[in-house]
Amino acid sequence: MLGIIIGISSVIAIVSIGDSMKGVMDDIYKDIGKNRAYMYIYNIEDFRSTDFFFIEDIELLKDRFGDKINYLCPTEGLRSDVVVNKNTVKLQMECIDSGFDKVQHIEMLYGRMINESDVNRKSKVIVLEQNAALKIFNRENAVGKTIRVKIENNMEDLLVIGVYKNDQSPVLSLLQGQKMYEDSYVPYTMAFPQNYGFYQLDVFIADNYSVSTVGNEIISYVAKLKNREIDNYRFYTVEEDQATLNGIVGGMSIAVACIAAISLLVGGIGIMNIMLVSVTERTREIGIKKALGARTKDVLFQFLIESATLSAIGGIVGTMSGIGLVMLGGSVISLPIVVNPLSIIIAVAFSMIIGVFFGYYPAKKAAKADPIDALRYE
């Protein structure tokens, strides 16, 4: 049964890991935003500076698609070293527009989030993540404090107006590894001048509209606005990214599971060999049974049931071993494990089929044994 146990446990473990990773990806993309998309410049040979997205273009898009989009902002970020009392902290500043906290779940601990007034006035303000506030000021409530950061080769003093809690899942934190930069938010209008050209836009489509449909409308509008072809701009949705990644994970799981299933064939061949030995050792027993009236199909079913039972027990033990192995690994790396009941049923049923398939030849050989020759066998 060892081959069956190893094969089934491997298949169960691999399929469970694949399903668990899909669940993790679903949670990650749920945090990112199902109705989120990115629009960027693509494949322009005779590139012009006017092809970039400017602040006035963003305002035009907001006016044109006001009820169809929940949020629109350039995807830009800045990095700077912050020195406070000889303590240096690397800070990542994500440039956002007002309303970002409406499309992303942000739990404010102290103060407030960036609002429309901050964006319109280009206020020199910043919202720190909890860990950033602790590392810079040795306290969470840093509202009212001032930090000096480097923006476009200029040193700027930013007022801390809020501190938020990072609700990032433990799995995502594990996948990202050790963070080099602490997180924060600043108004995008403060960080860049009025004539700055942006390469990519971050767009959240309203829930009651199709992301792809609105995306095509936006591309058509921008292409006409910039006097370009539609193919010169791309609209890439988060759903497309998730589907691609899930396809890769699913394909890899199936491929590895098929490789692991080879050990099931090895286990089936082992069962066939053992049953052949069993038939040879029980030749006299078979002869006595047939002499007492056992029919050919009775002997056939007896050995088939034995073979299927061996294989089924191996399947059950292998399933338990596979689940236990995955659960143990998941607890070590804090990964939420998903075990599909259907995969367990299929695994056990497949192991029984393996037993019947490879046990048929030995059972047939036993059933065809001549009772007289069998009784004479020593």
Judged against a pLDDT cut of 80, whether residue 328 lies above it is answered with: yes
Q: CB neighbours of 224 closer than 8 A, spacing ≥ 6?
A: none
Judged against a pLDDT cut of 80, whether residue 240 lies above it is answered with: no
Q: Which residues of 51-88 are buried (b: 16+ CB within 10 A; e: fewer)?
A: bbbbbebbeebeeebeebbbbbbbbbbbebebeeeeee
Token pair belonging to 73? 């902002």
Concatenated DSSP letters of 309-326: HHHHHHHHHHHHHHHHHH
Helix/strand/coil for 222: helix
Mean pLDDT value across the chain: 82
Judged against a pLDDT cut of 70, whether residue 376 lies above it is answered with: no
27 vs 209, residue with greater confidence: 209
Q: How far apart are CA 245 and CA 242, in angstroms?
A: 5
- Please tell me which of 72-86, 296-310, 331-345 the model is most confident about, judged by mean pLDDT: 72-86
- Give, for 160, the enclosing helix (H) or strand (E): strand 154-165
For the chain, first and last CA: distance in Å? 28
Handedness of CA 96, 100, 80, 92 (dihedral sign): negative
pTM score, whole prediction: 0.66
- pLDDT in the model for residue 173: 54
pLDDT in tens, 62-91: 999 988 999 999 999 999 998 877 778 899
- pLDDT in the model for residue 118: 94
Query: What's the CA angle centered on 30, arms 28 and 32, to 5 degrees?
Result: 70
Strand partners, 77: 94
Nearest Cα neighbor of 81 from 93, 69, 72 is 93
Judged against a pLDDT cut of 90, whether residue 36 lies above it is answered with: no
| Band of pLDDT at residue 169, cut at 50, 70 and 90 | low
Contact 259, 50 (CB under 8 A): no
